[in-house]
């Protein structure tokens, strides 16, 4: 099973079994392509093209595309439960911040849901963000540590969105900086880490090597170049990463399904980016 935090001699308990079961549903072969869908809260509805502004339309596309899990907020999960239930695991995002806040308050995530919300909805994981290096790092880490403790008692996996931010950080994709944020996250006791890609497989190996916790790449803003994104995903996998958590590079693509399936082919199937792009966009036409 894909459960890295249980030591060989540790007693099997109900929470540890629950965590194994839930992680196994997300990391079905030790890898995952997770659909990130918290952008409506973080950035507003203008992030979504056309009819994709509808949560039900978006979640329906994600389920049909074959994602391993969907990470979203409480309200979206409640509105779309009949679409994802029994089909795709839910990871409930319980921290957030809006882009309406003043610039000097953009580096703080506050609570927008609870661990018990996730339990009540039948979720398979809980997610939250820490901006490592931000002025409010202490408050975010203390809240996240409490969340991890609660999840551990309930058998609920935790995923941290480990983002280096702050006035002292000049390059949030620097391998040393990302590795530090990843290691600090692992030391909180999390089960999955989502963080920035560092630009190459060689540099990302430094990130993957700091802990045995599965590391996933943050998809980030739309690149405008599908092949470049697929090459980044391949770099993650070549470095020993566990997959990607992606939103905008799929839902802002003219062909949602083709892009999603191409990423899945790279992560789960080991496909070369060029092959995956040709295979999935061939009939529909590549961007």
In a domain, 273, yes or no: no
State the DSSP string of the chain.
----S--TTPPP-HHHHHHHHHHHHHSTTS-EEEEEE-HHHHT-GGGS-GGGGSHHHHHHHHHHHT-SEEEE-HHHHHHTHHHHTTTS-EEEE-EE--TTS-GGGTT--EE-S-HHHHHHHT-SEEEEEEEETSTTHHHHHHHHHHHHHHHHHHT--EEEEEEE-STT-S-TT-HHHHHHHHHHHHTTT-SEEEE---SSHHHHHHHHTT-SS-EEEE--S--S-HHHHHHHHHHHHHTT--EEEESHHHHTSS-HHHHHHHHHHHHHH---HHHHHHHHHTTT---
In a domain, 112, yes or no: yes
The number of folded domains in the chain is 1
Cα 143 → chain centroid:
19
Give dist(CA 74, CA 150) in Å, integer.
18
Q: What is the CATH number of the domain that holds 61?
A: 3.20.20.70
Q: What is the span of the domain harbouring residue 191?
A: 14-222+243-255
Residues 31, 93, 194, 234: which is the catalytic one?
Answer: 194
9 burial via Cβ count (<10 Å: 0-12, 13-18, 19+): exposed
pTM value is: 0.94
Active site residue 194: yes
In a domain, 265, yes or no: no
In a domain, 197, yes or no: yes
Residue listed under structure tokens 């092959």: 275
| Adjacent-strand bridge partners of 33 | 244
Give dist(CA 285, CA 150) in Å, integer.
47
pLDDT of residue 9: 53
pLDDT of residue 98: 98
pLDDT of residue 224: 81
230-280 pLDDT, tens per residue?
999 999 999 999 999 999 999 999 999 999 999 999 999 999 999 999 999
In a domain, 92, yes or no: yes
In a domain, 187, yes or no: yes
Mean pLDDT in each 10-residue stretch from start to end of the chain (287 residues)?
Answer: 49 93 97 98 96 97 98 98 98 98 96 98 98 98 98 98 97 98 98 98 98 97 93 98 98 96 98 97 59
CB atoms within 10 A of CB 204: 27
State the DSSP string of 203-220.
HHHHHHTT-SS-EEEE--
Do residues 52 and 37 touch, judged by C-beta distance below 8 A? no
In a domain, 56, yes or no: yes
In a domain, 115, yes or no: yes
């Amino acid at each position: 099973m894909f459960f890295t935090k249980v030591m060989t001699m540790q007693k099997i308990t109900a929470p540890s079994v629950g965590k194994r079961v839930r992680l196994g549903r997300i990391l079905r072969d030790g890898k995952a392509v997770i659909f990130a869908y918290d952008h409506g809260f973080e950035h507003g509805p203008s992030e979504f093209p056309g009819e994709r502004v509808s949560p039900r339309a978006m979640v329906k596309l994600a389920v049909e595309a074959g994602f391993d899990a969907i990470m979203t907020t409480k309200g979206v999960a409640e509105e779309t439960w009949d679409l994802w239930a029994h089909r795709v695991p839910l990871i409930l995002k319980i921290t957030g911040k809006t882009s309406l806040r003043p610039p000097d308050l953009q580096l703080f995530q506050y609570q927008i849901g609870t661990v018990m919300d996730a339990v009540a909805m039948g979720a398979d994981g809980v997610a939250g963000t820490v901006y490592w290096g931000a002025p409010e790092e202490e408050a975010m880490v203390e809240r996240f540590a409490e969340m991890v403790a609660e999840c551990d008692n309930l058998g609920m996996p935790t995923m941290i969105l480990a983002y280096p931010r702050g006035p002292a950080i000049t390059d949030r994709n620097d391998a040393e900086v990302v590795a530090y944020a990843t290691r600090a996250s692992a030391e909180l006791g999390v089960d999955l880490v989502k963080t920035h890609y560092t630009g190459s497989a060689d540099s990302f190996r430094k990130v993957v090597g700091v802990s045995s916790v599965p590391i996933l790449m943050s998809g980030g803003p739309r690149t405008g170049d599908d092949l470049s994104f697929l090459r980044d995903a391949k770099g993650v996998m070549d470095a020993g990463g566990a997959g990607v958590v992606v939103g905008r590079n799929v839902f802002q693509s003219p062909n949602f399904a083709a892009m999603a399936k191409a990423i899945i082919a790279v992560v789960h199937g080991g496909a070369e980016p060029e092959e995956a792009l040709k295979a999935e966009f061939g009939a529909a036409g590549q961007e």
